Every structure is written in C-alpha cells, then in structure tokens.
Amino acid sequence: MEKLVIEGGKPLSGAIRIHGAKNAALPILAASIMAEGTITIENVPDLSDIHVMLGILRALGCKAELVGDNVTVSTNAVHQFHIPESLMSQMRSSIFLMGPLLSRLGRVELYQPGGCAIGERKIDLHLQGLAALGALIEENGSQIVCTANELQGAEIVLDYPSVGATENIMMAAAMARGMTTIINAAREPEIQDLQNFLNAMGARIIGAGTDTITIEGVSELTPCTYRIIPDRIVAGTMMIAAAVTRGNVTLEKVCPAHLTSAIHVLKRAGVQITINGDIMNVCALSRPKSVERIVTSPYPSFPTDLQSQIMVLLSLADGVSIVKETVFEGRFKHVDELSRMGADIRVDLNSAYIRGVPRLYGATVEATDLRAGAALVIAGLAAQGSTVIEQIHHIDRGYDRIELMLASLGAGIHRTTPVPTE
C-alpha cells in the first residue's frame, strides 16, 4: 500500500490553484445521463471517486473520458439500469444515479452504497423523496429496485436538510410532470452548482441556496458545456495547513463566499486572511489562539468536512477549545491518531475538548477516512520529525495528489510505493 512521508516543521509559502469540487462534480456527472448527446464538464478533479463514477457511467452504456480536468460524456447509448454492486460498494455518491436513471429509463437497480465509515448515513430520505414523486421502491436485502412509468411533481418536506437527498430529488423532479417543491432543502454551494448545470441543460429550477427549491418539470434536457465550482473543502484544508505551519499562502480560483464560516473561525484563532476577488491570502506568524466553541452543522455553518482539520490547529493553540460534532457520530476517529502525535484531546459523546500543546511529534499513523487523512497530513506538516501516513487511498478520494499541492508550497512530503516482491 502507498504511504505519505512528511518531514515536518517547514512553513508553507507560495501560491496554489484550488481544483474543482468533488462534491459538485459527482452529482453533475450523474445528472449528465438525463440528456441525450455529448456533455462536457470542465474543472473536474482527478480523484479516485471521479474514476469510480466514470466507471459506473460506462457500465450504463455511456462513453466517459477524463482528459486533463475535462470530462466528456456521451450518453446516446445509455440502456442499462443495473449498477454493479462492486462499483456501488466503493463510493456512496453512486446513489446519485437513482434520480437520473428513473428519469431516463424509468427503472434503476442498485445496492446500498459504500464510502467512508464516519457514522450512519441512511438513504431513507432519498427513497422517501423518490416515492413522493411516484416511484415504486422495492428492497430485497441490500438491493434496491425503483420503477416509475412517469414521475409526478409533489411537495416534499425533508426531515433533515440532507445534501444527497436534496440533489437526488432535484434530478428526478427536473423531468417529472408538473411542479415539485422541496422544503427544508440543503443549502450547500454544490446544490447551487447542480441547479445551474441542470438549468444549462434546459431545466427550470429556482431556489437552490435557500431552504425551499422549486422545480418545474420539462419534457427533455439537452447537452451543454459546464464548469464546476472550486472545492471549498480543499480550499479550507489548505487554509488550515498554512495556518498550522505558520506560513503565508495564496489560494487562487477560490470562492470566498463558500468559506465564510471557516474564515470566521480562523480569524478568531488569530490567522490573517485577505481577500481579493477569487484570490485569498492566508498568513499566520504566531501560535494560534484557542477557539472557545465550534459546532459543525449543515451549510452555512461550520462544515463537518473541516472538523478534523481544524482540530489540528486547535491542538497547537494557546488555550482550551471545544468542538461539537452534530452531523456524523463517527467523525472523531482521527483523535486517537492525533493523540499518538502528542495532541491532548478528550472526547465525551459528540464533543471534543482540546488543550493546546506547544508542538506535535512525528509518528506512523493511519488515515481512517478522507477528512481524517487530511487532518493527519496537516499534523505531519506541523510536527517535529518524520510522519508516515498509511491507508492514503482514503485521501485520494478527495484531494488530487495532495503531496504535489503541498510540495509546491515548500512542504517536505512525498508518496512512497512499495516495491513488489516475487
């Protein structure tokens, strides 16, 4: 298995361009099958999750290719409604094919999705929303079969503002007969990006970014060329990495409006942040200050996907901080690994109490999930000595060669590949 080796203690310095958002690209790739023809999607990151989604599209009959950061999808030959379990098990976002396949073929057969083990993430809201639009849903063990001769618009009230459920319902409703209203919809920027993509293909959707989305169904969608938004979680990770190493980093091609909560927390910790359009400079010349309390919650609150990374900063801050996780109950697995590096963190139920220490120390640690892996990379950058991170396939799901991004900023980091033995 590949590993990341980091020699810590080097302040990050320089400029870096933030790549496209994984969590925007995946539902947009799924939605591409709703139009017959060739769709071009720009600014797509080269990630393992993206390749899994492209594999699923090919299994459905598409021609799908990633060249540079552009994906071309030819959907004329889509005929297959069965998604192989081997692909479903690799990535939770494969669930996004439910709405598009119901719209295109009137049937979808798939399995409970895989992904990072960060707590219970049921798909009940997806199924309830599709059922409200008229889909017949049958569950047989881990297999799910959804059929619909014609989807019909409806008013759907979500019990929780689930990003995935909001997006799946949006896609299914885009070609349903009549009007659909999603109440208590998730408000994430990636949902706005999906709305903009669907509208570019001819859909009629308004309200993304608010808690009420209205969709007027259309009879068909047509191909388009579309550019993905920058990845706010990658940008947030790099901001925290700059702060933890007491560096000076300029981020290019970012959307600061998507990072308001992260910017607010970092400024409370004493980090200097200046913004000029889509360029952001992050500078930290001294030890960070503790932040009394951070609570993760759906957008626009502080994102759960930056919780583990900000905990590294707080581990080195002057004082005691509290982080409360309200989204995923299994998202403190990185705490044990950070403790092995010298962090002083105590977990009580869904809250972590962090007493800042003067320094962290290099160790051999394991990435238990995508964002925990990113946190360990940041910790390794700040630590005294050498850090080895194992199970880095998790990191590759969300960061396009993170070691190259960081090395371009002066980090001592490289990837090792084991030599095969006979």
Q: Which residues are the active-site residues?
A: 116
Give kind and range of the element (H or E) at residue 63: strand 63-67
Closest of 388, 369, 392, 372 to residue 380, by C-alpha: 388
Helix 260-268 / helix 232-244 crossing angle, nearest 10 deg: 10
Q: Are the CB atoms for 41 and 71 separated by under 8 Å? A: yes
85 DSSP β-pair partners: none
CB 262 within 8 Å of CB 242? no
Neighbour tally for 337: CB within 10 Å: 22
**Cβ burial 198-226 (10 Å sphere, 16+ → b, else e):** bbbbbbebebbbeeebbbebbeebebbeb
Q: Where are the alpha helices (DSSP H) in 218-340?
A: 232-244, 260-268, 307-315, 334-340
Amino acid identity at 103: S
How far, in Å, are 361, 370, 387, 389 from residue 364 at the CA level? 10, 17, 6, 6
Integer Cα distance of 4 and 208 in angstroms: 38
Nearest-angstrom CA–CA distance, 399 and 378: 13
Q: Are 99 and 168 in contact (CB under 8 A)?
A: yes
Instruction: Judge contact between 361 and 382, C-beta under 8 A.
Output: no
> For residue 414, which amino acid is it?
H
| Rounded Cα gap, residues 124 and 144, in angstroms | 12
Phi, psi of 193 (to 5 degrees): -65, -40
Q: Is the omega angle on the peptide bond into residue 300 within 30 degrees of 0, that is, cis?
A: yes
